[in-house]
Amino acid sequence: MNKWTKMYQTAKNIQNERKISDYIEAGSVASAILSAAGKIYTGVCIDTCSTLGICAERNAIFNMITNGEQKIKRVLTIMPNGKTGTPCGACRELFVQLMPNDYKEIEIMLDYENKKVITLGEITPNWWI
């Protein structure tokens, strides 16, 4: 099994849309991050009725950092419709701040069905220039 397939399956396994309370829903989006050390870290989105929620990608990054790593190699995010997509601007900003000298090399699975991969450098070419 290749790494993208393993990442997809790992993210799919935690994607579980659910209502946590009258104010919080979680799990409609799931993300898997492959670290430079080859470990997969996951996270789900947590949506709140205010701006206190968190994206699945940032949740996965926080999981990675909590476990002692900080270098990202690949990112895969599964949207509510089951397709993969790109991280939002806030997530891209965190990737760049985490790896300011190497962020352009982070691979992102744009379209899992068609195996289309892009780099963060392609979608975020000029950071703070």
Report pLDDT digits (tens) over 20-69: 999 999 999 999 999 999 999 999 999 999 888 999 999 999 999 999 99
In a domain, 128, yes or no: no
In a domain, 70, yes or no: yes
Please count the structural domains in the chain. 1
In a domain, 13, yes or no: yes
Strand 72-78 versus strand 24-35 pairing type: antiparallel
Tell me which residue range forms the domain holding 92: 3-123
Report pLDDT digits (tens) over 57-109: 999 999 999 999 999 999 999 999 999 999 999 999 999 999 999 999 999 99
Q: Helix-strand-coil percent breakdown of the chain, rounded to 5?
A: 30, 30, 35
Q: How many CB atoms lie within 10 A of CB 22?
A: 7
pLDDT-derived band at 129, boundaries 50, 70, 90:
low
In a domain, 117, yes or no: yes
Q: How many CA atoms, within 13 angstroms, populate the side-chain half-sphere of residue 3?
A: 18
In a domain, 129, yes or no: no
